[in-house]
Amino acid sequence: MYQVKIQLENDALIIRGSPEESVGCVLRGYVELKATETIKVKSIQMNLLGKMKIQWNEPLPGHLAESFDSHSFGSLSYKLKVTVERPAFSPNTHHRRLFWVHRQLPRPEDDDAMEISNEWDDKLSYRMSVPGRIYKRGQEIPIYYELLPATDTHLRHISCFLKEYLTSPSHQDSRIVQFFRDHEHQGHRTLKVPSSPSAIQTDCDHALIKIQHQLKFNMSLIRHGQLLEVRASMPIKIMTEPDELPTYENAWQTSPYSSPITPLDGVALDYFSIPLPAYEL
């Protein structure tokens, strides 16, 4: 009896910078073959699965698309495959190992507070603000709003949605990730960005996939018995922060036996589904 495994120093890699300027990163590890008795082996092969062949322990190019795994959107994943080729009439052994590629872009210098304000047809004045435009998974987004309807206009409610937009060469869709509804004219509320990678993706802009996020505000009004709705939007970014993942320079300190990605701790509200195939390098 024997067993073969792929051991990685780090199964979550970070590509720093945009696809045009990034120098990429390095995938390191080793193949472990354990045998309880003497066996004959014809060869051992280890490949990065897909159409593009990259030899083991060579740098990954910086233009790779980021990994993601969403119940609604589909997935984009990378896998390693090792094959122990046996002599004739002896079965070969295969082992696959999934790893993740994340992109960490430089944090923009203009992460200032954002505010939108407007007056709609002399029926409603509104103002919404957030303390910044960049957030990470698990972080709360503080939202302040103030609504001033005209004397003959009644506010039914205000709703705020954190929406995720996906654009690929063949699809364009969106989903609601989080939301709240309130009936007050003024208030402070928070929306928490989910911690799970499947519940929300980070922003990315790649030839294969583009993911963006917005805060959408819907204000429902009644005027002379007629229902009215006013809408406003505010773009934000969900980004990978340096403290979310270990840098590759420190990857050697991590154990190759460590568990893979963080277990899912929440599922986003799925309002659509598109059949995006898995992408394997």
In a domain, 258, yes or no: no
Residues 151 and 223 grouped into a single domain: yes
- The answer to whether 81 touches 96, Cβ cutoff 8 Å, is yes
The number of domains in the chain is 2
Q: Which two tokens stand for residue 273?
A: 């589904």
pTM for this model (two decimals): 0.64
For 158-175, write each residue's pLDDT tens digit: 999 999 998 888 888 889
Collapse the DSSP code of 69 into the 3-class scheme (helix H, G, I; strand E, B; otherwise coil) and give the result: strand
Hunting for tokens 């204000």 — which residue is that? 219
Residues 78 and 43 grouped into a single domain: yes
For 63-106, write each residue's pLDDT tens digit: 888 887 766 666 778 888 888 887 877 788 888 888 888 787 77
In a domain, 13, yes or no: yes
Domain that holds residue 137: 114-239
Per-residue model confidence (pLDDT) at position 258: 34
Residues 28 and 54 grouped into a single domain: yes
Q: Which two tokens stand for residue 63?
A: 């233009």
